[in-house]
Structure 1
């Protein structure tokens, strides 16, 4: 499986000619990530994970594209693209389904708390082919499974470094890469990643930084 990292929280998975994209948001190179995609997974409604305009355009230009998202996001997208509504599906924690030939399991259910005055929205983390785990905006450890490749939200308004490191240690995936890094400058990212790499290594986790557009074979 080939994984390509895009800016912030978006990744693209390719295997045997099949393409699955997760969280193409407004900070990401959504049109590039979506080129040739067979399916898209959206973790939650925030624009840095959900570029509604790019997805509406992609649905109009690709008759085979399927999109899976929490119910609120799916409803919004069906309103924006009524002619393609039959290709937009609700996704929820605890459910399993197939997207572009990839086996998908949903975990979590809620976005991490940003502040008590701000409503909590739905968030679904996705485990792909019993290997790649994208948690969206949460630090939910998936239960009952072993993760091979962890995508780590390294920085967010709702997290701190100790929580991120504890998440990495708890999941204990053999390898890990960063996501949700679009709000950090180069110095801040290097500082945070150094803690993840050092402490993660003590627990058997090999962390590697991926630049935007960089791919790795899993």
Structure 2
């Protein structure tokens, strides 16, 4: 399976001519990521994880693309698509299993990490796609399964470095790559990734940086 990193939290999975995209947000190369994709997964409603207008436009152009997201996101996409929505927009919560573009998907969690008590919480669903875990904006550790590859939100208004490291240590995936990194400059990213690399390795996780548009076989 080929994993391609796009800006911030957007990633694309490809295998046997099939493609699935997670979190094509406003910081991301949405049209490029979605080209030829058969499915879109969205962890939550914040615009850095779904560029609603561009995603709706992409789904309007290709009526075979399906989308899975928390109910609020799914409703917004259905409204944007109108009659073109059909039965291909699916609301999901934690604790579900389904197939998307031929990829096996399990969902975890259900709530976005706390930003501030004055900022309302929204739904957030983490997706495990054929052994690769994308948590969205949360540090929910999947229960009852082994994660092969972890996508780590390395920086956010809702996190601190200690929580990032604890998340990596708790999941104990053999390998990990960064997501949610668009708000860091090179200096900050190097510092955070250095800690994650050094401390994660003590618990069996090999962390590596993926550049934008870089692909890796997993």
| TM-score, length-scaled by structure 2 | 0.99
Q: Where does residue 188 of structure 2 map in the other structure?
A: 188
3-state SS, counterpart of residue 133 of structure 1: strand
> CA–CA distance in 1 between the matches of 2:143 and 2:4?
26
User: Pairwise mapping of residues 59-208 of structure 1 onto structure 2 (< 5 A)?
Assistant: 59-85=59-85, 86-129=87-130, 131-208=131-208
Note the C-alpha offset of 1:70.
Answer: 0.3
Cα shift at 1:174: 0.3
Residue 26 of structure 2 corresponds to residue 16 of structure 1: no
1:61-91 C-alpha deviation (Å, 9 max, x unpaired)? 1121000000000001111111222211111
Give, in whole Å, the separation in 2 of the partners of 1:173 and 1:125: 15
Separation in structure 2 between the aligned mates of residue 123 and residue 41 of structure 1, nearest angstrom: 11
Q: 1:41 Cα deviation (Å)? A: 0.1
SS in structure 2 opposite 1:105? Answer: strand
Unaligned runs of 5+ in 1: none
> Shift of the alpha carbon at 1:113?
0.1
- Aligned with 1:183: secondary structure? coil
How much does 1:172 deviate? 0.5
Counterparts of 1:114 and 1:180, CA distance in 2: 15
Tell me how far apart the structure 2 counterparts of residues 159 and 84 of structure 1 sit (CA, whole Å).
38
* Structure 2 portions without partners, runs of 5+: none
- Mean alpha-carbon deviation: is it higher for 51-60 or for 4-13? 51-60
- Count the aligned residue pairs: 217
Cα distance, 1:146 vs. partner? 0.3
Q: Deviations over 1:6-25 (max 9, x none)?
A: 00000000001110000000
Supply the distance in 2 between the matched residues of 1:198 and 1:172 (Cα, whole angstroms). 14
Normalising by structure 1, we get a TM-score of: 0.99
Do residues 39 (structure 1) and 39 (structure 2) align?
Answer: yes
Q: How much has 1:118 moved relative to structure 2? A: 0.8
Hey, what's the Cα distance between the residues in 2 that align with 1:87 and 1:166?
37
Secondary structure in structure 1 of the residue aligned to 2:19: strand
